[in-house]
Amino acid sequence: MLQKRVIVCLDVRDGKTTKGIKFQGNVDIGDPVQMAAEYYAQGVDELVFYDITASAQKRGIMIDVVKKVAAEIFIPFCVGGGIGSVEDIRQVIDAGAEKVSLNSLAVRNPEIIRQGAEIFGSQCIVLGMDAKKDLSMPSGYRVVINGGRTETDKDALEWALQAQELGAGEIVLNSIDADGMKSGYELNLTKMISDAVKIPVVASGGAGSPEHLYDVFDKANADAALIASMVHYGDYSIGNIKDYLYRKKISVRLS
């Protein structure tokens, strides 16, 4: 059985790690380079770094911060936000990231997934998808972009299948409705996508306790779980979370 991964997400704004609820009311909570080093020391499996205002501000990603984070950690590192071209993907990978998350750009230009996969390999190309409940959509969920600010006409399930076909190697699936609420992942959405695609699905949005990670692994077939608030505010450590999952018979990498 493949081990389940615990991934910490660093949302970065103006060079600082920030956290909000449903993508709003963000407050700065620390230095992303120091926080990355701390989570690496705690035994996190991967790190995700999102430059959350790059797309909305129509600017490139903060490559200098990416380089500094990459120098501190020796685990898979995924970067997203503000990536607008194949050249941007190259720049991020050259700066030390193993993976690049494509979200708003991929919706506007799906061919970037195919181009990225052909040049760098599917393992480097992650589809970042923000979805929210919308009963007018075939699957019941609508894709939103620009940090949750812009609705699209894309159905979440259709978009996941299309991205897989184009060559995405993984999907980070974020529930806008659950984001930052600490009340648990959106299990229905996660299970629907996980069961439909053959590539790994990372559940994102809503983790508040180790039980929530257990639920998304056990009930929704997620391959990995993204966490933020529950470790950023010191409620739990990576070790606490993994020990709990191990006791619950979830296969995880123990440090």
11 is catalytic: yes
Helix (H) or strand (E) holding 67: helix 63-72
3-state secondary structure of 157: helix
Residues 97/78, Cβ–Cβ less than 8 Å: yes
Strand partners, 89: none
Q: Look at the block and give the residue holding tokens 């299309």.
A: 162
C-alpha angle with apex 202: 133 to 56, nearest 5 degrees?
Answer: 65
Alpha-helical (H) ranges within 183-228 are: 187-196, 210-218
Residues 141/97, Cβ–Cβ less than 8 Å: no
Considering 11, 88, 155, 179, which one is annotated as catalytic? 11
Determine the Cα–Cα distance for residues 197 and 158; give it in Å rounded to an integer. 10
Residues 97/65, Cβ–Cβ less than 8 Å: no
Considering 45, 51, 88, 130, which one is annotated as catalytic? 130
Helix (H) or strand (E) holding 46: strand 46-51
Q: Look at the block and give the residue holding tokens 């991929």.
A: 106
Strand 170-175 relative to strand 125-133: parallel, antiparallel, unpaired? Answer: parallel
Residues 103/96, Cβ–Cβ less than 8 Å: no
Write the DSSP string, 103-121.
Answer: SHHHHH-THHHHHHHHHH-
Catalytic residues: 11, 130
